Structure 1
Amino acid sequence: MISAMQSPDFWVAIGFLLLIGFILKPAWRFIKDSLDTRAKKIAESLNEAASLREEVQHLLADYQRKQRDAAREVDQMLADATNEAERLCQDETEKLMQSLQRREELAEDKISQAEADAIQEVRNRVVETSILATQRILEKQLDQKTATTLLDQSIKQLPTKLH
């Protein structure tokens, strides 16, 4: 038997393996470099996606905070507007009550004045009627001299009786 090293098949196999090794070595380097480049791109994409995810989460948190702040602000505005409306309603109610009170006082003053005027007019008519009645009675019962004396006395007493 021929030793394995002396066999041409052995050397053909060795040559074939060396040829494959020489051919595959640059191809392996190319495949390895391509895979490394692709792995780097994938890692960069993953890192970019992670940073974008963080950025989106921060933006989401900011928008949620802004939305909560806006909701609080709207609630505060609504409460302020309600309070202001109630205050205005109370102010206007007070003004209306004061106006009604003033009108009532004015009406009472007018009624009092009209009452005083009516009483004064009645007094004046009573005085006029009394004077007329007295004059007629005196004309019938008194002579000229007695009438003049009574008239003078009445004129003297008039200021004390009117006040």
Structure 2
Amino acid sequence: MRHMLTLAAALSALAASPAFAATGPFFSLHNTDFVVLLAFILFVVVLIYFNVPKLLAGMLDKRADGIQSELDEARALREEAQTLLASYERKQREVQEQADRIVAQARSEAQDAADQAKADLARSLERRMAAAVDQIASAEAAAVKEVRDSAITVAVAAARDVIAQQMTEDQSSKLIDAAIADVGAKLH
């Protein structure tokens, strides 16, 4: 059978040459259409003989199986991703709820701390006011003492000036009265 196919292939190759192809009756080797038909039939027979359609079908089946396995894997990955997404969304909700609780607790603690700080500030202000009143009273007493000391110093200085200039008695009396009035004005 192989010899016949080889012989048929050689004859068809020889018959398919342009020298033999010419116009004429259809079933003649001189007709180009007939020669092309024979070559095509011979080509199909060779393909069938070497199981090319089965090979092609096997390759296509293999490719289809590969695509199907990739689709199955993609589906599995998608389902896994959806599961992970749902898990992360659940965790996010839990974390958000926990954060809300923490914020509420922090606000409550901050309000308590603010109330405590106001009370502490009020007590501190009362203490400072009392201390300030005491300091003002002390400063007032010191100022009165300083004014008295200044009045005495002024009076002594005035007396010294009077004596130094050897004033007359009238003048010295007037000067003393003026100094006493000046001291009285500074004391009040």
TM-score of the superposed pair, with normalisation by structure 1: 0.45
Greater relative CO, 1 or 2 (CA 8 Å, sep 6+) = 2
TM-score of the superposed pair, with normalisation by structure 2: 0.40
Q: Which has the higher helix share?
A: 1
